[in-house]
């Protein structure tokens, strides 16, 4: 990725005191998904919410390759915050894989790492995301007159109103009608790459918090040896009552765990 791509990543800053925490969202998400979490961490921590490439207001690229994505984010962080020293990095789902690869390839940038409900192995349960993206692709955008039309059209395929709302945050209305802010076609085509995990080596020796949702399939006991091989100081925490979207389903527990881990001496 070019330096110009790195510098054009869209970010939002929340808070102005404490160590910096950078949040990386999951598939079809946006940095703003962590807004309430970041606000809850003020004044102990300041946050940077990143829109990953092909998502939100960041550029569309022709790849979903994790090393490329990790290097792009690393270049952005190095450009903006190099003088501040290493920072804390939090990644959920796809963003968790980007965060893991970034920490291994650019360890000088990361002080502490938090991986949320994903493992450094190919992800089981990717069929759920295939179903969600296929459902979005069924929408006839030209026929939409208002956002509620899209929600109504999706309801027979996605019965969870909360999930529909999460996905439809990517729907934008312009002079030429509705369109997707995220690169839906690429994300659908590259879902196998997104669900996979690249070959990585080495180890990240600084503190790591691995957070899993109690009811999620994405972190399994047999993933632990690989996690500890790459991240020897890993501490695993299971969040009760949470599925895959830990930070939105159990925000108080999520914030509490982050604050304790990221502010400890």
Among all residues, which ones are annotated catalytic?
Answer: 93, 185, 244
Provide the 3-class DSSP secondary structure of residue 262: helix
CA-CA distance, 192 to 205, in Å (whole number)?
29
User: Distances from the Cα of 205 to the Cαs of 87, 104, 170, 202, 232, in angstroms?
Assistant: 15, 9, 37, 10, 6
Sequence-separated (6 or more) residues with CB below 8 Å from residue 43:
15, 17, 18
Q: Which of 188, 190, 194, 237 is nearest to 216 (CA)?
A: 237
DSSP track, 150-174: HHHHHTTT---HHHHHHHHTTEEEE
Per-residue CA distances from 165 to 8, 41, 137, 241 (Å): 27, 25, 16, 21
Residues 6+ apart with CB under 8 A from 186: 54, 60, 62, 64
The tokens for 243 are 């599925």
Q: Dig out the tokens for 152 from the structure.
A: 């109504």
Query: Does the bond joining 173 to the residue before it have cis omega, within 30 degrees of 0?
Result: no
């Amino acid at each position: 990725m070019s330096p110009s791509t790195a510098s054009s990543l869209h970010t939002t800053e929340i808070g102005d005191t404490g160590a910096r925490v950078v949040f990386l969202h999951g598939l079809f998400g946006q940095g703003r998904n962590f807004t309430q979490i970041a606000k809850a961490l003020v004044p102990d921590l300041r946050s940077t919410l990143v829109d990953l490439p092909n998502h939100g207001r960041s550029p569309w690229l022709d790849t979903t390759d994790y090393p490329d994505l990790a290097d792009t984010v690393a270049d952005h962080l190095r450009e903006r915050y190099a003088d501040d020293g290493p920072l804390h990095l939090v990644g959920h789902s796809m963003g968790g894989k980007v965060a893991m690869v970034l920490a291994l390839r650019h360890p000088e940038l990361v002080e502490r790492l938090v991986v949320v409900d994903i493992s450094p192995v190919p992800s089981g349960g990717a069929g759920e995301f295939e179903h969600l993206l296929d459902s979005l692709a069924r929408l006839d955008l030209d026929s939409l007159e208002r956002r509620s039309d899209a929600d109504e059209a999706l309801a027979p395929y996605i019965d969870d109103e909360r999930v529909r709302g999460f996905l439809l945050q990517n729907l934008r209305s312009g002079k030429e009608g509705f369109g997707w802010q995220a690169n839906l076609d690429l994300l659908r085509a590259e879902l196998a790459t997104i669900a996979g995990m690249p070959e990585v080596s080495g180890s990240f020796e600084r503190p790591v918090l691995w957070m899993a949702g109690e009811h999620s399939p994405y972190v399994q006991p047999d993933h632990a040896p690989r996690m500890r091989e790459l991240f020897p100081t890993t501490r695993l925490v299971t969040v009760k009552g949470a599925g895959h979207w830990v930070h939105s389903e159990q925000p108080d527990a999520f914030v509490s765990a982050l604050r304790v881990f990221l502010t400890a001496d």
